[in-house]
Chain A
Amino acid sequence: MELTVNGQRHQIDAEAGMPLLWVLRDILGLTGTKYGCGIAQCGACTVHIDGMAVRSCQIALADVGGEVTTIEGLGTPDAPHPVQQAWIDHQVAQCGYCQSGQIMSAAAMLALQGEPDDQQIDRIMSANLCRCATYPRIRAAIHDAARRLATG
Chain B
Amino acid sequence: MIRAALVMLSLVLPAGAEVTTSVVAPPQEGSVSREDGLAAWDRVHAVVSHPRCANCHVGADNIPMWSGPEYPQTGPHGMNIDAGDSRIGAETLPCATCHVTSSAPANGPNDAPAAMIDWQLAPVDMIWFGQSSAQICAQMSDPARNGGRDWIQLAEHLRDDAAHGGFVAWGFAPGGARQPAPGDLQSHIDDVLKWGAAGQPCPE
Chain B interface residue count, Cβ-Cβ cutoff 8 angstroms: 29
Interface residues of B in 70-124 (CB under 8 A from A): 79-82, 90, 92-94, 96-98, 100-104, 108, 110-112, 114
Inter-subunit contact A55/B100 (CB<8 Å): yes
- On A, residues with C-beta under 8 Å from B are 17, 38-41, 46, 50-55, 58-60, 62-63, 65-66, 105, 109, 112-114, 120, 122-124, 126-127
Q: Which of B3-11, B180-188, B192-200 contacts A (4 or more CB under 8 A)?
A: B3-11
Interchain residue pairs A-B with the least CB separation, the first 3 = A126-B80, A40-B98, A40-B112
Instruction: Given A40-B112, A58-B114, A120-B92, check contact A52 B97 (CB 8 Å).
Output: yes
The listed residue with most A CB atoms (<10 A of its CB), out of B8, B11, B92, B94, is: B92
Inter-subunit contact B96/A127 (CB<8 Å): no
Tell me if B144 counts as interface (CB < 8 A to partner A): no
Whole-angstrom CA separation of A118 from B37 in the bound complex: 51
Taking chain B's interface residues, is the majority helix, strand, or loop, or is none over half, making it mixed? loop
Instruction: Given A17-B104, A40-B112, A54-B100, check contact A127 B8 (CB 8 Å).
Output: no
Inter-subunit contact B93/A55 (CB<8 Å): no
Inter-subunit contact B100/A63 (CB<8 Å): yes
Whole-angstrom CA separation of A114 from B1 in the bound complex: 9
Whole-angstrom CA separation of A127 from B93 in the bound complex: 9
Whole-angstrom CA separation of A117 from B163 in the bound complex: 41
Whole-angstrom CA separation of A123 from B91 in the bound complex: 9
Inter-subunit contact A127/B97 (CB<8 Å): yes
A–B pairs, 26, beta carbons within 8 Å:
A17-B104, A39-B110, A46-B97, A52-B8, A52-B9, A52-B94, A52-B96, A53-B93, A53-B97, A54-B96, A54-B97, A54-B100, A55-B97, A58-B98, A58-B100, A58-B111, A63-B101, A65-B11, A112-B90, A123-B80, A123-B82, A123-B92, A124-B93, A127-B79, A127-B97, A127-B98
